[in-house]
Each structure stands twice: as structure tokens, then as C-alpha cells.
Structure 1
């Protein structure tokens, strides 16, 4: 009986994909742009890692990080797009001056 002792290696960028997925959700609060960038990068990297894993699943570990990062990136991209759309709608409806006035009123009301 022959036993193959092949060393499994970590999928390239598996942890990075997970971190970028998390940052895409956090980054949606920065006008949506930062979250969108991190989310798209995480999705591209996860596509490459998934293709690599599917070609030889026995050779790699860390696929769970890739899957989780991909899901988080999808959520981050959706939230970022919604924030961007909301910002555009606010800009169209109220204009820059109207938004600045609302901010001043909120600061006066809640900030001191």
C-alpha cells in the first residue's frame, strides 16, 4: 500500500481576501468608494484563488477564508453601491449647499 504524503499549501492571498472582504464592509461608510474598491479587489482575488483551488483541491488549504472573504466582499460591494446611490440622490435633491446646511443644523442640534 502506497501512501502519498503531499504537503498542502495555503491558497495564495486567502487571508488577504478575507481582510479585504471585511474592509469592504467597513469602507462603505467612506462615501462608498473605499468599500467598493476593496470589494472589487477581493472578488477578483477570490476568483483566481477559487480557480486554483478547483484545479487541485487536495493541494491547498484556506479555501474557507476565500469563501468567507468572497461573501463579505459581495455584501461590501452591495452596501457601497447603495451608499454611492444615496449620496448621489442627496446631492441631486439638495445640492451641496443644502447638505452643508443640514450638517450645520445637526451639529448645532447634537454637537453643542
Structure 2
């Protein structure tokens, strides 16, 4: 009997990569992709554990899960950093810093 590909195995891998790449988007987008990848990986792992001889591409699921966990950690750290920045210097302070950077770039 020919092995079939696990459902969403490639999607899990792609979402894990996207969760890492988008960690600089205020942490929100990467958190969403990381959580979706972990949920899909959990379902795929249960499906594979029920009948491992029937499915292939379990390596994509494992790698995608690892990447999603790394992405979640990076996004959580970045989100906490953004919250800390807003709580310490506020929105006006951030705008002043941006204006100062723009003035320095123009010189």
C-alpha cells in the first residue's frame, strides 16, 4: 500500500517559517501563525500516531512544530518589548524618537 502525505504537513512547515519571519510585525501576526501551526501539528501528530504506516512527511510536521515554537517565543518576547516601550515612554515619546531619527537621516 502506498503511503499518503499527512494532511497540512507542508502548511505546518510554511506557517512555522512565517511565524519566525514576521516576529518584527509587533508580535501579533507571528503569534497567530505560530498558534495555527501548533494546532495543525497537534492534529497531524495524533493522526500519524494512530496509523504511522499509512502516512509519510512526518518530518515536515516535526520541523514545522519546532519552528512554530521558536516563532511563538520570539513573537512573545517582541510583543512584551513593545508593551514595555509603550508603557515607559508612551506614544508621544516614540513619535519624538522617530522624528529625531528622520532629522538625523536628512543630514
Q: What is the CA RMSD across the aligned residues, in angstroms?
A: 1.0
- Do structure 1's residue 73 and structure 2's residue 68 form an aligned pair? yes
TM-score, scaled to structure 2: 0.96
Q: Using the TM superposition, give the Cα deviation of residue 106 of structure 1 relative to its aligned residue in structure 2, in angstroms.
A: 1.6
TM-score, scaled to structure 1: 0.92
Q: What number of residue pairs does the alignment pair up?
A: 107
* Partner residue, 2:15: 20
Q: Can you give the 5+ residue segments of structure 1 that lack an aligned partner in the other structure?
A: 1-5
Q: Which runs of 4+ in 1 moved over 2 A?
A: none
Q: Using the TM superposition, give the Cα deviation of residue 103 of structure 1 relative to its aligned residue in structure 2, in angstroms.
A: 1.2
Q: Can you give the 5+ residue segments of structure 2 that lack an aligned partner in the other structure?
A: none
Q: Deviations over 1:20-72 (max 9, x none)?
A: 00000011111000000000000000000001001111110110000000000
